[in-house]
């Protein structure tokens, strides 16, 4: 059944928490308690697994969520049954107490009636008219007067006794009514407290289950993205290494073949030169004239010069071949290194993009319960319009209770970027946007906690602007008062740096952040002196 036509899940939760007749009214429209639980229980959609070789745990998580919902529904049913039985038991006890009190009052009335029977009220006799008092003696008059007074006294005693009995019965009835009302009030308060505790426990269980499912989905997506990036980088590195090794082996084989060929050619040329020299020597020995010997010597010299020239040319060719091969190998190695670096950079960018998408999705889920789309658009427009006026953004955020995490979620930026933007602008710690401030003051042996109202001022280094230190001043309430630029090389700058080192830990120039921009990374410093 589609319950959205009757109201939102928040309306149903309010009805269960505040309207004791909510379930009876829902039953008139054919809506069961299980239908309401299924409607108000958040349904967490499991993300798609990025790697095909990862196990799909969506079925197990869905089953776990279903079991948790069934257990919550069962617990709510038994709790409702227990409250009903307790209410019936309280009503039965109240009825028994009323019957006992009625029997006691009836017994009192019965005793009064019996007393009236055994001790009837004395009816004063009507005195007879005295026609002639002369006929009565003085003793007769005294006796008559005494009897009249005694009858009046007994009648007064009987009236007092009856009034006392009626007052006692009325007091007992009032006490019984007060006791019954007190018992009913205590039972109602106990039932309300138990119902509120049960509803709080159910809400806490639902929120914990939703939060655990969301964290598990985010963690699984991040692990899958990291593993995919790592596997891609490892695979690219392995392929590059294998390719480089293969090309190096081919180059070594080619170099060895060229060297062997050069050695063979040189050996053949040496053999040819030796044979030619031997031939010339033989011809010289056989020459019969000096002219022939000189001609043969000239031929030998020419042959030796030709052999030397051929050997030099061969050596030059071999050296040129080796230089060309070395150049080709260097170019190939540089190309492989560039391809490997590009693959690693692409894998890192892909992993960062996936992490950014996951964090953005998580931030959007968080913002869904805090701001409407119109409010988010208004926040973005205001930040963009006042990007060069961080003080205005800070004041607006403080006015409407917008935290740094809210701005990070709406803008899709990391929380550190938002905090750094306000710190660079001179917005101090101790606000909604940048966190808490260290509120202690004194020397190393006499550090005291600042109380509100004490006239102390604390300074803290919050960033660098060029070669100067940006210093923020705070009052005793931890609120910012002014900012200024200090020279770290002066005695004054070194003095308060040392004081901050005593109060808040060692502070140096190396760990002071430089100023930057919120929406564009690094940029011009924002801030000033006060």
Q: Residues 6 or more apart from 274 whose CB is under 8 A from it?
A: none
Q: Which two tokens stand for residue 494?
A: 């070194």
pLDDT score recorded for residue 150 = 58
pLDDT of residue 49: 45
The closest alpha carbon to 265, from 254, 275, 273, 253, belongs to 273
The rounded Cα 55 to chain-centroid distance in angstroms is 26
Question: How far is Cα 443 from Cα 498, in angstroms, rounded to an integer?
Answer: 10
Counting other chains too, the contacts that 517-521 makes at CB distance below 8 Å and 24 or more residues apart are 517/387, 517/421, 518/383, 518/387, 518/390, 518/411, 518/413, 518/417, 518/418, 518/421, 519/383, 519/384, 519/387, 519/411, 519/413
Contacts of 231 (CB under 8 A, 6+ apart): 51
Distance CA 219, CA 232 (A): 20
Report in angstroms the alpha-carbon separations of 481 from 395, 399, 413, 497.
14, 18, 28, 19
Give me the pLDDT at residue 360, please.
Answer: 46
* HEC-encoded secondary structure of 365-427: HHHHCCCCHHHHHHHHHHHHHCCCCHHHHHHHHHHHCCCHHHHHHHHCCCHHHHHHHHHHCCC
pLDDT given for residue 109 in this prediction: 82
Res 126: pLDDT = 63
pLDDT of residue 331: 76
pLDDT at 443: 41
Give the integer Cα–Cα distance in Å for 377 and 463.
31
Tell me the C-alpha distance between 425 and 419, whole Å. Answer: 10
What was the pLDDT predicted at 99?
A: 87
What's the average pLDDT block by block, 10 residues per block, for the chain (530 residues)?
80 83 82 84 50 64 79 81 86 87 84 71 59 52 60 63 76 81 82 79 79 81 81 79 77 78 78 78 67 69 75 75 72 72 66 50 46 86 88 80 84 86 69 45 41 49 71 67 77 57 38 42 30
What's the predicted TM-score (pTM) here? Answer: 0.24
Q: What is the pLDDT of residue 355?
A: 52
What letter would DSSP give residue 474? Answer: E
Q: Which two tokens stand for residue 184?
A: 């009913």
Which pLDDT score, from 0 to 100, does residue 139 have?
Answer: 60
Q: Write down the pLDDT at residue 467.
A: 73
* Crossing angle of the two packed helices 404-411 and 373-385, in degrees rounded to 10: 100
Burial class (CB in 10 A: 0-12, 13-18, 19+), 469: buried
**In this structure, what are the phi and psi dihedrals at residue 127, rounded to the nearest 5 degrees?**
-65, 140
Tokens of 251: 């180059």
Opening angle at CA 335, ends 334 and 337, nearest 5? 65
For residues 379 and 371, the answer to whether their CB atoms sit within 8 Å is: yes
Among candidate residues 470, 486, 384, 475, the one with its CA nearest the CA of residue 427: 470
- Give me the pLDDT at residue 513, please: 43
């Amino acid at each position: 059944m589609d319950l959205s036509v009757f109201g939102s899940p928040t309306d149903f939760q309010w009805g269960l928490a505040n309207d004791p007749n909510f379930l009876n009214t829902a039953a008139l429209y054919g809506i069961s308690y299980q239908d309401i639980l299924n409607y108000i229980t958040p349904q967490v959609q499991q993300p798609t697994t990025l790697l095909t070789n990862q196990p799909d745990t969506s079925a197990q998580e869905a089953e776990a969520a279903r079991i948790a919902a069934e257990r919550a529904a069962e617990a709510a049913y038994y709790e409702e049954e227990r409250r009903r039985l307790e209410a019936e038991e309280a009503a039965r006890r109240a009825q028994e107490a009323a019957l006992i009190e009625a029997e006691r009052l009836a017994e009192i009335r019965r005793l009064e009636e019996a007393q009236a029977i055994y001790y009837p009220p004395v009816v004063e006799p009507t005195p007879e008219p005295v026609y002639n008092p002369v006929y009565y003696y003085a003793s007769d008059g005294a006796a008559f007067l005494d009897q009249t007074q005694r009858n009046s006294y007994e009648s007064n005693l009987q009236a007092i006794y009856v009034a006392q009995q009626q007052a006692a019965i009325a007091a007992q009835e009032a006490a019984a009514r007060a006791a019954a009302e007190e018992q009913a009030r205590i039972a109602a308060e106990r039932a309300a407290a138990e119902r509120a505790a049960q509803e709080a426990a159910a809400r806490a269980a639902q929120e914990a289950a939703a939060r655990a499912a969301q964290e598990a989905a985010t963690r699984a997506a991040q692990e899958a993205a990291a593993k995919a990036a790592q596997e891609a980088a490892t695979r690219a590195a392995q392929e590059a290494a294998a390719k480089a090794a293969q090309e190096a082996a081919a180059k070594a084989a080619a170099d060895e073949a060229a060297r062997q060929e050069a050695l063979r050619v040189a050996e053949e040329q040496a053999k040819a030169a030796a044979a030619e020299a031997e031939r010339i020597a033989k011809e010289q020995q056989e020459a019969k004239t000096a002219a022939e010997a000189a001609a043969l010597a000239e031929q030998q010299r020419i042959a030796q010069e030709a052999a030397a020239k051929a050997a030099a040319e061969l050596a030059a060719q071999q050296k040129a071949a080796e230089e060309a091969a070395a150049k080709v190998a260097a170019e190939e190695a540089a190309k492989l290194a560039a391809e490997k670096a590009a693959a690693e950079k692409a894998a890192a960018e892909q992993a960062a993009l996936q992490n950014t998408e996951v964090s953005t999705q998580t931030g959007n889920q968080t913002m869904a319960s805090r701001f409407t789309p119109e409010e988010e658009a208004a926040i973005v427009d205001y930040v963009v319009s006042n990007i060069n006026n961080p003080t205005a953004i800070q004041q607006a955020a403080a006015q409407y209770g917008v935290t740094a995490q809210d701005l990070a979620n709406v803008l899709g930026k990391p929380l550190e970027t938002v905090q750094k933007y306000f710190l660079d602008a001179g917005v101090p710690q101790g606000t909604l946007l940048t966190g808490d401030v260290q509120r202690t003051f004194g020397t190393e042996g006499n550090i005291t906690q600042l109380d509100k109202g004490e006239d102390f001022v604390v300074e803290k280094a919050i960033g660098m602007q060029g070669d100067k230190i940006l210093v923020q001043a705070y009052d005793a309430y931890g609120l910012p008062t002014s900012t200024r630029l200090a020279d770290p090389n002066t005695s004054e700058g070194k003095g308060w740096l040392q004081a901050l080192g005593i109060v808040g830990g060692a502070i140096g120039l190396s760990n002071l952040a430089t100023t930057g921009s919120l929406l564009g990374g690094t940029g011009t410093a924002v801030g000033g002196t006060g």
